[in-house]
A and B are shown apart, each in its own frame.
Chain A
Amino acid sequence: MAEPLLQLADVHTHIGPYHILHGVDLSVPAGGLTMLLGRNGAGKTTTLRTIMGLWQASSGRIRFDGRDITKAATPDIARSGIAYVPEAMGIFTDLTVRENIVLAARSGPVDRNRLDWILGLFPALKRFWNLPAGNLSGGQKQMLAIARAIAEPRRLLLIDEPTKGLAPVMVRSMIEAFKALKASGETILLVEQNFYAASALGDNVVVMDDGRIVHAGAMSDLVADTVLQQRLLGLSLDAHQ
């Protein structure tokens, strides 16, 4: 069996005196979309930040593309091919939409065809191209955050709660965009609390609780098993449709 693109083995993370991740084991296969679900405070964001090196793992191993990145610095992790969209989006509001994207393309000017593809995914950005990103609405900022993450080809996208706080119409649009990204062959690890969005997108699902992985499997299995949903997430899919 091929080695997963990203693999966390017994990862522990402390933030100050707090022990947040308690031995996380997680595999993200290349291609497709893996959903990371869990209630507030389960450790999802900490997991993504630990992968990015923004918080250092206290112990355990993180391997990406066959290389140990546990102790690597954040810029090196990013350069190895991982793009990160934080929950707060991390948009540079003083920079224009164009400047935000230009900055994300480390190797030089953004490839014209790729830019056309990105603006095809998020046409609204074209209209605000030369305006400060601080002028954008929440949904538009989220589009820009994702557009920035894919400004250059990356091996893995880590995206933290992209639908949080968005209007239902925007959530549906965002789901369509992620479907297009999936279809283009991107590998995505997506943190989500919206089970409707998660079930529409995920190939695989990992559920966290209290800093531990409590379930990992195919999304289709979880969608089909309402008892499992109730046990793991305290919900049923019907209630979220």
Chain B
Amino acid sequence: MSDMTADTAAVELPRARTDWLPLLLVPALGLLALPFVGSPSTWVTLTVAGLAMGMMIFLMASGLTLVFGLMDIINFGHGVFISLGAYATLLVLGPLAGWATADSLGLNLALLLLCILVAMAVTGVVGAVFERVIVRPVYGSHLKQILVTMGGLIVAEQLIHAIWGASPIPIPLPQSLRGAFVVGDIVMERYRVVAVAIGLLVFVGMQLLLNRTRLGLLIRAGVENPEMVEALGYRIRRLFVSVFIAGSALAGLGGVMWAFYRQTLTAGMGMEVMVLVFIVIIIGGLGSVGGCFVGSILVALVANYVGFIEPKLALISNILVMALVLIWRPQGLFPVARR
């Protein structure tokens, strides 16, 4: 047997380092905003609203960051899955309209859950078709990907118009999710609290999948070096398709949450948030789910705080955050190693 310890004998064992700095940005930002906001109750209200908004952005963006990181696909058509997920709620709200107006938290939550499941199923199936017909022919060419996925987005939006009509469609928030929890001077909208809970559940689920399962290992390895994953005997193409479908389904989930938040459906609602979605995945580091999570919260909190403190700056606050993060870390908060 050989003894290959020579390389390590003289050096100390490196420790696994957890990169805390980006995680500390969120509480630091909150503390920084507190004196400018002034009232602690307003600050809590703004913070909870920001967290809810961040979770919804995360739900919409998390699939895209995996698709971006693993498949190196720039999918400008991602927004259509958000819109389609939102419209898929009509498939449930139509036959089960009574559940939305029932004064029962159980029925209301069951309705929301059904909407989510149907939306994820619809967007997953459409995602599989979208990958096969539109994305697969342009693997490896970013310019063609941008053009063809934009084209796919336009076609899909027109199809939504053809099926559901071009006029905005109002949708009711389930009865028990309307209104707000009021604690002293602090106001927390019920739906936003639910959005935070669902966002956290999805994030924890994704972390467990990525870190505790073989499939997760494969996805993480594929993000870093897809060629080597193939050389180990895994069919990366199948993994690509699975991740694309999962990414589309997650966008559908985000679409449902976004739809109930806006309480209005329009075919362009997905495209409208895509700038925000791209900003958070760039801030987080392409392919990093954790980065996407932190980036989403960061962007949403900044938008809320700045919108309250100096409304005129609200429009540029997201771009400003992205610029500052990229100056600090050009590869994003949690860069994923690449070949």
Contact = CB atoms under 8 A, between A and B. Distances in A.
A78 B1 contact: no
Interface stretch (A19-27, A34-42, A130-138, A228-236): A130-138
A94 B214 contact: no
A103 B232 contact: yes
Question: Mostly helix, strand, loop or mixed at chain B's interface?
Answer: loop
B14 A131 contact: yes
Contacts of B224: 92-95
Contact of B233 (A75, A169, A180): A75
Interface in A44-66: 52, 54
B221 A173 contact: no
A90 interface: yes
B213 to A, nearest CB: 11
Interface string B1-33: 111111110010111100000000000000000
Contact of A122 (B4, B218, B225): B4
A185 interface: no
B185 to A, nearest CB: 45
A72 to B, nearest CB: 12
B2 A177 contact: yes
A4 interface: no
Given A84-B231, A104-B232, A134 B337 contact: yes
A5 interface: no
B257 to A, nearest CB: 29
Contacts of A122: 2, 4
Contact of B232 (A106, A135, A143): A106
B7 A170 contact: yes
Interface in B290-339: 336-337, 339
10 contacts: A52-B231, A73-B230, A124-B4, A124-B8, A127-B8, A131-B15, A131-B16, A140-B7, A173-B4, A180-B2
6 residue pairs, one from A and one from B, having the closest CB atoms? A176-B2, A78-B233, A90-B228, A135-B14, A74-B230, A139-B7
Interface of B: 1-8, 11, 13-16, 214, 217-218, 220-221, 223-225, 227-228, 230-236, 336-337, 339
